[in-house]
Amino acid sequence: EPEVTQTPSHQVTQMGQEVILRCVPISNHLYFYWYRQILGQKVEFLVSFYNNEISEKSEIFDDQFSVERPDGSNFTLKIRSTKLEDSAMYFCASNSIEGMGDTQYFGPGTRLTVL
Amino acid sequence: AQKITQTQPGMFVQEKEAVTLDCTYDTSDPSYGLFWYKQPSSGEMIFLIYQGSYDQQNATEGRYSLNFQKARKSANLVISASQLGDSAMYFCAMRETNTGNQFYFGTGTSLTVIP
């Protein structure tokens, strides 16, 4: 069964450093998302991406964040200058069509720890 | 106002018994979708079940069913014949037509199945 994959599973970085989180969405999916989950809290939407551009973003997704689809398979989230409060689990998700019933399938997550 | 409310931070159920996890939602959009995800201790988000706002019947997927009460704006998850492997966090989520593809998540319910 196809699945969303994410690398690395755990990333530790120093405050102020740049990190790139990588995702490979399900191959025939067209819509891609990043969410984050601070430890013990709910999952929060960051950004959605379609047709090589951002289609929606939340207030959390400020100028330090960017997303890219550098090739036909990868979807990346870059955090330019990490802060302590960026420590969270970051989930990538994808779905195939823009429909109410189309489920977003989540990757296993990358746990980011900022020291 | 919160779009998704899960009022049960923790629930316990005896193995083989049924359990109901509560979810209420808030939207003025007539078209929306409701989803439940399971998050085991390993951290991944596993899709369980979907209910559309126009669906006449309650959704069912194996041991999972969704008790959809539209007038009360509730979408409770019912797990029948609980198994030890059901112990996990459970998140209710909603997508609205007017706000695009992003999912709004609740704070989750931690379910523990007791042998």
Question: Each residue of B93-110: pLDDT tens digit?
Answer: 999 887 777 899 999 999
What part of A 53-92 touches B (C-beta under 8 Å)? Answer: 55-56, 58, 89, 91
Q: What is the pLDDT of residue A73?
A: 86
DSSP E strands in A1-115: the ranges are: 5-7, 10-13, 19-24, 31-37, 43-50, 53-57, 65-68, 75-79, 88-95, 105-106, 110-114
B100 neighbourhood in chain A, CB within 8 Å: 48, 55-56
How far is residue A91's CA from residue B53's CA, in Å, rounded to a whole number? 26
A92 touches A8 (CB < 8 A): no
pLDDT for B59 beyond 80: yes
- Report the residue from A56, A101, A108 with minimal CB separation from B52: A101
Q: What is the pLDDT of residue A107?
A: 93
**Cα-Cα-Cα-Cα dihedral of A23, A32, B44, A61, to 10°?**
90
Question: Each residue of A37-57: pLDDT tens digit?
Answer: 998 888 999 999 998 899 999
Please give the backbone phi and psi of residue A23, each rounded to the nearest 5 degrees, phi first: -145, 140
- Report the residue from A42, A100, A107 with minimal CB separation from B95: A100
- What percentage of chain A carries pLDDT values higher than 70? 96
